[in-house]
Amino acid sequence: MLEGGVSLDEQVKALKEELRHAQKMSALGELVSTTTHEFNNVLTTIINYAKLGLRNKDTASRDKALDRILGAALRAEKITNSVLGMARSRGSDRAPTDLAKLVEQTLVLMEREMRKYRVQVESQLEPSPQAYVCGNQIQQVLLNLMTNARQAMSQGGRILIRIAPDPAAGTVDLMVRDTGQGIPSDKLPHIFDRFYTTKQGPDASGTGGTGVGLSMCREIIEQHQGKIRVESTVGVGTAFTLKLPVAKQEQHSSTPVAKLGIPTAESVSPAR
Ligand SMILES: Nc1ncnc2c1ncn2[C@@H]1O[C@H](COP(=O)(O)OP(=O)(O)O)[C@@H](O)[C@H]1O
Ligand SMILES: [Mg+2]
């Protein structure tokens, strides 16, 4: 017992709870800032092409300007729809979550950055059960992994995002693979350490070189009773895999109460 009758265990527990809360808040904050930034870019495009259209009276220039404005506005619509979708379906608590939808919403936000750095993004979304996760936090992990992947490909390259079920493990797996520089085997054991970084300082997008990203990813995944795995080959690329728990039937809020008593195919025990 320490002073005030609070045991060390209790203090650790309280601090962990505070950390969890802070992480939820920061995941949300980062999302708001990424989204606002993206939205601002769209507005800049609209404003510039509207000015261009006003300056040039010929039909061809005006058509081009209107075309670009329409493109930007449609993108803005996608962004707000995905944010609204997030707000509706995600509190700060864990809930059955469609990871494919989460990936799609995240890609909308990363589209411009990836194009800027000549990174092609491909996704393979296999039919999978919902995962029991806090969507905002998993999205934060995904943003971190994609930013790391992008930073590992200074000459551009490819990112593959794959979702696939692992029925034997009872998980849905989310993989982010890049064709970047890879991680030397002597560095690999350290990448999840807090403040471990091999980057020189903030990169052009201001997000590199703090060494916080992967340690936060690991903490978030561990809080979900999930696993994070990494495989890497120098000069070939790196793949991170998140193994996330599948949402159980009773965690589906949409499950009608009346149905619960009826045995389903999975819950029927073998005849003795
Ligand atoms: N996809 C990747 N390819 C190559 N190296 C990576 C990749 N992801 C992470 N790393 C390595 O792990 C280190 C730690 O990553 P992270 O915790 O996100 O910190 P930061 O990105 O701020 O350096 C990076 O500095 C880099 O050396
Ligand atoms: Mg990082």
**119 and 84 in a common domain:** no
Q: 134 with 36, same domain?
A: no
Helices 99-116 and 135-151, packing angle to 10 deg = 30
For residue 110, what pLDDT is reported?
Answer: 86
Between the CA of 138 and the centroid of ligand 1 the distance, in Å, is 18
Q: Whose CA is nearest to atom 9 of ligand 1?
A: 148
| Contact present, 214 and 144 (Cβ < 8 Å) | yes
pLDDT tens-digit series, residues 3-47: 567 889 998 888 888 877 776 666 667 777 777 888 888 999 999
- Same domain? For 64 and 140 the reply is no
Same domain, 138 and 23: no
CATH code of the domain containing 182: 3.30.565.10
Is 233 within the bounds of a domain? yes
Q: Of the candidates 90, 163, 99, which has an alpha carbon nearest to the alpha carbon of residue 131? A: 99
Centre of ligand 1 to C-alpha 227, Å, is 18
Q: How many domains does the chain have?
A: 2
Residues with C-beta less than 6 Å from any ligand 1 atom: 144, 148-149, 152, 178, 180-181, 183, 191, 196-199, 208-215, 238
Buried b (16+ CB within 10 A) or exposed e, 211-229: bebbbbbbbbbebbebbbe
Let me know whether 104 and 67 are in one domain: no
> What's the pLDDT score for residue 37?
82
What is the four-CA torsion angle of 10, 216, 93, 128, rounded to 10 degrees?
-130
Angle, CA 77 vertex, CA 73 and CA 79 arms, to 5°? 115
Name residues of the chain where pLDDT drops below 70: 1-4, 23-28, 85-92, 201-208, 250-272
Provide the pLDDT for residue 266.
38
| Structural domain for 122, as ranges | 95-249
Choose one of 58, 74, 89: the last residue of a domain. Answer: 89
Take residue 125 and report the two structure tokens written for it.
């979304």
Residue 218 resides in a domain: yes
- pLDDT of the residue at 186: 96
User: What is the best residue among 154, 197, 234 to mutate for testing ligand 1's pocket, by most ligand atoms within 8 Å of CB?
Assistant: 197
List of residues 6+ apart from 129 with CB closer than 8 A: 165, 172, 246, 247
119 with 61, same domain: the answer is: no
Q: Is 72 part of any domain? A: yes
How far, rounded to the nearest angstrom, does the alpha carbon of residue 39 sit from its chain's CA centroid? 18
CATH code of residue 82: 1.10.287.130
Place of tokens 């708001």: 32
The pLDDT of residue 146 is 94
Residue 268 in domain: no
Nearest 5°: CA angle at 203, between 202 and 208?
55
pTM of the model: 0.73
